[in-house]
Amino acid sequence: MSNSPDIRLSASERRKAVAALGEHLALRRLNAEEYEARAAQANQATHRGDLMALFTDLPEPRPNFDTEPEEEEESQPRTTAIGRVAYALFPLAGVFAFALVYLTGAWWWMLVLPPLLYAARQLTR
Protein backbone atom coordinates (compact mmCIF):
# COMPACT_ATOMS: atom_id res chain seq x y z
CA MET A 1 0.00 0.00 0.00
CA SER A 2 1.29 3.46 -0.85
CA ASN A 3 2.23 6.18 1.62
CA SER A 4 0.76 8.80 -0.69
CA PRO A 5 -0.46 11.79 1.35
CA ASP A 6 -3.57 12.09 -0.84
CA ILE A 7 -5.14 8.76 0.20
CA ARG A 8 -8.16 9.09 2.47
CA LEU A 9 -7.98 7.71 6.01
CA SER A 10 -10.03 5.01 7.66
CA ALA A 11 -11.34 5.29 11.22
CA SER A 12 -8.90 2.59 12.37
CA GLU A 13 -5.95 4.55 10.94
CA ARG A 14 -7.09 7.62 12.90
CA ARG A 15 -7.37 5.53 16.09
CA LYS A 16 -3.88 4.10 15.56
CA ALA A 17 -2.49 7.62 15.13
CA VAL A 18 -4.14 8.80 18.36
CA ALA A 19 -2.75 5.71 20.14
CA ALA A 20 0.74 6.52 18.85
CA LEU A 21 0.35 10.08 20.11
CA GLY A 22 -0.67 8.63 23.47
CA GLU A 23 2.59 6.68 23.59
CA HIS A 24 4.51 9.89 22.95
CA LEU A 25 2.55 11.53 25.77
CA ALA A 26 3.44 8.64 28.10
CA LEU A 27 7.11 9.03 27.15
CA ARG A 28 6.78 12.77 27.86
CA ARG A 29 7.73 13.79 24.35
CA LEU A 30 4.44 15.68 24.27
CA ASN A 31 2.79 17.60 27.08
CA ALA A 32 -0.94 17.31 27.73
CA GLU A 33 -1.84 20.41 25.69
CA GLU A 34 0.19 19.29 22.67
CA TYR A 35 -1.32 15.80 22.89
CA GLU A 36 -4.88 17.14 23.06
CA ALA A 37 -4.31 19.45 20.10
CA ARG A 38 -2.68 16.76 17.97
CA ALA A 39 -5.24 14.11 18.94
CA ALA A 40 -8.05 16.48 17.93
CA GLN A 41 -6.31 17.10 14.60
CA ALA A 42 -5.81 13.35 14.10
CA ASN A 43 -9.51 12.69 14.71
CA GLN A 44 -10.43 15.37 12.16
CA ALA A 45 -7.83 14.29 9.57
CA THR A 46 -9.16 13.13 6.21
CA HIS A 47 -5.96 12.26 4.31
CA ARG A 48 -2.73 10.49 5.22
CA GLY A 49 -0.78 13.69 4.71
CA ASP A 50 -2.80 15.30 7.51
CA LEU A 51 -1.65 12.58 9.91
CA MET A 52 1.94 12.50 8.70
CA ALA A 53 2.24 16.22 9.47
CA LEU A 54 1.46 15.52 13.14
CA PHE A 55 4.49 13.22 13.45
CA THR A 56 7.20 15.18 11.59
CA ASP A 57 9.03 16.12 14.81
CA LEU A 58 8.48 12.78 16.58
CA PRO A 59 10.39 9.48 16.35
CA GLU A 60 8.69 6.06 16.27
CA PRO A 61 5.95 5.05 16.94
CA ARG A 62 4.24 6.59 13.96
CA PRO A 63 1.17 5.50 12.02
CA ASN A 64 2.04 2.67 9.64
CA PHE A 65 0.20 2.85 6.35
CA ASP A 66 1.98 -0.16 4.81
CA THR A 67 -0.55 -2.63 6.20
CA GLU A 68 -4.12 -3.24 5.18
CA PRO A 69 -6.65 -1.44 7.36
CA GLU A 70 -8.14 -3.66 10.04
CA GLU A 71 -11.83 -4.38 10.14
CA GLU A 72 -13.70 -1.84 12.13
CA GLU A 73 -13.96 -2.75 15.81
CA GLU A 74 -17.48 -1.33 16.03
CA SER A 75 -18.92 -4.66 14.88
CA GLN A 76 -17.72 -6.26 18.12
CA PRO A 77 -19.26 -5.01 21.36
CA ARG A 78 -16.89 -3.45 23.85
CA THR A 79 -17.61 -5.02 27.18
CA THR A 80 -16.11 -3.82 30.44
CA ALA A 81 -15.36 -6.05 33.41
CA ILE A 82 -18.55 -4.85 35.11
CA GLY A 83 -20.52 -5.67 31.97
CA ARG A 84 -19.06 -9.18 31.77
CA VAL A 85 -19.93 -9.83 35.43
CA ALA A 86 -23.44 -8.41 34.99
CA TYR A 87 -23.89 -10.45 31.80
CA ALA A 88 -22.84 -13.63 33.60
CA LEU A 89 -24.94 -12.98 36.71
CA PHE A 90 -28.12 -11.72 35.05
CA PRO A 91 -29.63 -15.19 34.45
CA LEU A 92 -29.19 -15.86 38.17
CA ALA A 93 -30.48 -12.46 39.34
CA GLY A 94 -33.71 -13.92 40.69
CA VAL A 95 -31.85 -16.59 42.66
CA PHE A 96 -29.46 -14.01 44.13
CA ALA A 97 -32.32 -11.66 44.96
CA PHE A 98 -34.28 -14.45 46.66
CA ALA A 99 -31.18 -15.45 48.66
CA LEU A 100 -30.68 -11.84 49.78
CA VAL A 101 -34.35 -11.58 50.79
CA TYR A 102 -33.97 -14.74 52.83
CA LEU A 103 -30.66 -13.66 54.43
CA THR A 104 -31.50 -10.02 55.14
CA GLY A 105 -35.26 -10.11 55.47
CA ALA A 106 -35.50 -7.10 53.13
CA TRP A 107 -38.02 -7.80 50.34
CA TRP A 108 -36.82 -4.91 48.16
CA TRP A 109 -33.90 -7.00 46.85
CA MET A 110 -36.40 -8.64 44.51
CA LEU A 111 -37.24 -5.22 43.08
CA VAL A 112 -33.70 -3.83 42.91
CA LEU A 113 -31.23 -6.55 41.96
CA PRO A 114 -32.65 -7.89 38.65
CA PRO A 115 -33.18 -4.43 37.08
CA LEU A 116 -29.79 -3.27 38.37
CA LEU A 117 -27.98 -6.19 36.76
CA TYR A 118 -29.98 -5.73 33.56
CA ALA A 119 -29.09 -2.01 33.44
CA ALA A 120 -25.41 -2.73 34.08
CA ARG A 121 -25.49 -5.35 31.35
CA GLN A 122 -27.05 -2.96 28.83
CA LEU A 123 -25.01 0.12 29.68
CA THR A 124 -21.63 -1.59 29.53
CA ARG A 125 -21.98 -3.26 26.15
Q: Report pLDDT for 95.
A: 86
User: Does the predicted TM-score (pTM) go above 0.75?
Assistant: no
User: Of 4-13, 16-25, 79-88, where does the model show the most confidence?
Assistant: 16-25
Does pLDDT of 4 surpass 80?
no
Q: What is the 3-state secondary structure (H, E, C) of the chain?
A: CCCCCCCECCHHHHHHHHHHHHHHHHCCCCCHHHHHHHHHHHHHCCEHHHHHHHCCCCCCCCCCCCCCCCCCHHHCCCCCHHHHHHHHHHHHHHHHHHHHHHHHCCCCHHHHHHHHHHHHHHHCC
For 38-94, the pLDDT digits (tens) are 999 999 999 989 989 999 999 888 887 766 655 545 555 556 676 677 777 777 888
